[in-house]
Every structure is written in C-alpha cells, then in structure tokens.
Amino acid sequence: MDILHCDLDAFFASVEQRDQPELKGKPVIIGAPPNSRGVVSTCSYEARVFGVRSAMPSSQAYRLCPQAIFLPPDMKRYREASQQVFAILAEYTPIIEALSIDEAFLDVSASHAIFGSSMEIGIQIRHRVKTELGLNISVGIGANKFLAKLATNLCKPDGIMEFTEDMVTNLLPTLPVDHLWGIGAVSTRHLNRSGIYTVQDLLEAPRQLLKTLLGSNTDFVLDLARGVDNRPVTPYEEVKSIGNELTFPQDISDQQVIEQVLLELAEKVAHRLRIAQRKCQTVTVKLRTPDFQTFSRSITSPTAIDDQRSIFDTAWMLYQHSGLEGKPLRLVGLTASRLQDGRYEQPSLFSDPGQDIDSIIYRLNEKFTQGTIKRAVLINPVGHNIDQDTVGPKPTK
C-alpha cells in the first residue's frame, strides 16, 4: 500500500469558488460560453447535480443548468495553485509523477519512517492542502497505480480511501469494465455487445474473444482486472510532441484565413519548442471538416527545425496538398514531433536566413512580453517542391 493517487476535486471550479466567495455553493462551469462550439472543462459539484460533466458541450450544459455561472479558464491562476499543491506533495517523497495539472501519483514506500503509514500521509496531505490552500484533494491508496487511482475515483469528492487486498477480491470484480485503465467508450461498447459488463465477466471471458476485442491491450487489461499493475511511478518523461489547434466559431473555407491561423499556430509551436529546447523533424497538420471527420497530413524531414517560418512553410505546404484546400473546416491544428535536442546547431545542407530573424524575435519577446513583436504576414509559401506521392493519399470523401 505504498502508492498514493492525489486528485484535486473540481480543480478549476474550486479555485474560482475559493477566490470569489460569492460563487460558493453555486453551480459554476469553467469552459467555453454556452453559445459557442466549446465544451465544459470543469464544473463544481453543485453543477454536477444537474448532470453537467467535463467534456460536455457547453450548449448542452446550459440546457441542463441555465442558472449556472459560466467562466472562461484562467490557466495562469490554476497553474500557480497547482504548483503550490505539488510543493506540498514533494515534501513527502521525491518520487512524484504528475498526470496532469490536478493529479499525481506518489511513491511513498521510503517515506514511512518519517511520515507514518500511507493513510497517515494521505490524511496529512489532505489537511495541509485544505488549510493552507483552501482546496479539497482526494487521496487514493493502493499497492499499485491502478488500485490507488481506483480508490480515488470511488472516494471522490473530498475523500480518502485505501484499496485493500480484500477489495481486490470482493469489490474489484463487481465494477463495470470501464473502470479499467484503457477501457474507454469504444471498448466498453464492444465488450458489452459480447455480454461483458463487469470485471468478473471479463475475467471469465474466453481469451481469444478478448484478443479480438482489445488487441494488444488484452494482457495489460487482464492484469488490471486481477489488481496487478507493475508500472512504476515515473517522475519525469520527455515530451514527445508539441502542438496547438483551434476550432473556429464558424466553419472557414477562406484560404487566407486558414493561412493566418496556421501562421499563428506555427508561432505558438515554435515558441514552445524553444522554451523546451527542442527542434522537430516532423510537422503534422490536422484538419476537421464540418461533419466532424478528422484528417491529418504530416511530413518528416532529416533536418530538425524550431523556427516559425520553417514550421509554417511546411504546414502550409501540407494544407495545400491535403485535398481539403478551400473546403470548409471547423478545426485546424499544427503539431511538431520527432523532437530532437534543440540546444545545438543541427547540421543542415541549406542556410536558413529565417531562423536568425526568428531567434531575434524570440529573444525580444522573451525580454519584453510575448507577442509584442510578430512576424508580418508577408511569407510567401511558394517555393516548396514536394513530390505529391510523399504527402499521402487525398481523402476520398
């Protein structure tokens, strides 16, 4: 029982209710406004009573709870609060794995001599986060990550629970299959169609059937179903991709607008690459049509890049060869992957004058505030010569 899973309750909404006392006790929804195409990011428990949930379209949330107070996310404040919480967690063990801004695993196996049992540590953490930061944090305790997280999910909100050996035997088998890590909406539907609803059903199902339903995930899921999870708590993992995307208020087919959006996305991605001291070899453009079909076009080059100009030029070229040029789109995204160490000059066959300019813009923006200086929209995307066959097939629909 050495793994703790700590999860802040309705985090964004709780920060707002803490800082604006007039919101206490009221349904608060953090996310996109109800008349937009966006979704709910987080909502207070007062809003959940009405059936409002994370990831639900804001328009639907409004229909369920018209009296709710809708607020846009203030990520800067949430990040500050998150850092304060993580500072408390770090006092109990150095082995912390952040799952997101409001969730973490702690390996406390070496912390008992100083801080007591896992339950005692959990109680201390909850007390301190509550009294020092005014936030509720739920804590699950288990022999491994999966059981600890399961405990949190069962004791939320504002709870603490240890998932005991006895619960592995008597409670885990009775839970619905979607409580298992990696079993989402699609797998649940497939399993249910085959008469598999609970963890016990899954354990009794023919292995061959599970293989066809779950593929390579089968062994991992069967382990979880028995309460086995050997994944270690990993404090740091190198980021593998950096991307930004944008859903438009209305569908856009004007190529000049798409160009401008790609330029802005390229600026954001390039800036984040530099912060992370990374360069990318692969650029991917994501396009979503009004019927919600999503297409991607990517290209990998032997030269790693991190400047806005090169990223934009590549993205624009991919868009122009996507087969969706001039078609209405509801979303455009841009992702950099195959990341390399960006601290050293990458060998290149060609010199790129744009890179120097971007370095200057970057440093100036670092020195003042980000976005003060921007590259003007004078980039001529022509000049790239790409073999059509290397871009991939055009969408058939």
Among 116, 157, 159, 243, binds DNA (CB under 7 A): 243
* Smallest distance, DNA to C-beta of residue 12, A: 10
In DSSP terms, which residues pair with 336 in a beta bridge? 242, 283
Catalytic residue among 103, 162, 259, 264: 103
Site string for DNA, 276-295 (x = CB under 7 A): ------x-x------xxxxx
Note whether 296 binds DNA by CB under 7 A: yes
344 and 257 in contact (C-beta within 8 Å)?
no
In DSSP terms, which residues pair with 345 in a beta bridge? none
Note whether 393 binds DNA by CB under 7 A: yes
Site string for DNA, 93-112 (x = CB under 7 A): ------xx-xx---------
Q: Residue type at 208? A: Q
Which tokens hold the place of 334? Answer: 């841009």
Handedness of CA 26, 30, 35, 39 (dihedral sign): negative
User: Residue 311: left if φ>0, alpha if ψ -120 to 50, beta else—which one?
Assistant: alpha
In DSSP terms, which residues pair with 298 in a beta bridge? 284
Note whether 84 binds DNA by CB under 7 A: no
Strand pairing category for 241-252 and 329-341: antiparallel
Note whether 240 binds DNA by CB under 7 A: yes
Q: Please, which of residues 19-38 interact with DNA by CB under 7 A?
A: 32, 37-38
111 or 220: whose CB is closer to DNA? 220
Note whether 117 binds DNA by CB under 7 A: no
DSSP-based helix, strand, coil % in the chain, nearest 5: 40, 20, 35
Residue 246 to residue 265: CA distance in whole angstroms: 8
* Smallest distance, DNA to C-beta of residue 100, A: 3
* Smallest distance, DNA to C-beta of residue 286, A: 8
Residue 364 to residue 377: CA distance in whole angstroms: 19
* Smallest distance, DNA to C-beta of residue 38, A: 4
Note whether 182 binds DNA by CB under 7 A: yes
Note whether 274 binds DNA by CB under 7 A: no
Residue 30 to residue 12: CA distance in whole angstroms: 7
Note whether 351 binds DNA by CB under 7 A: no
Residue 264 bears catalytic tag: no
Which tokens hold the place of 189? Answer: 């539907």
Largest alpha-carbon pair distance within the chain? 67
Note whether 239 binds DNA by CB under 7 A: yes
Task: Give the residue numbers marked as catalytic.
Answer: 103
Residue ranges binding DNA (CB under 7 A): 32, 37-39, 41, 54-55, 57, 59-60, 63, 99-100, 102-103, 149, 181-188, 215-217, 239-247, 268, 272, 282, 284, 291-300, 330-331, 333, 335, 337-338, 390-393, 395
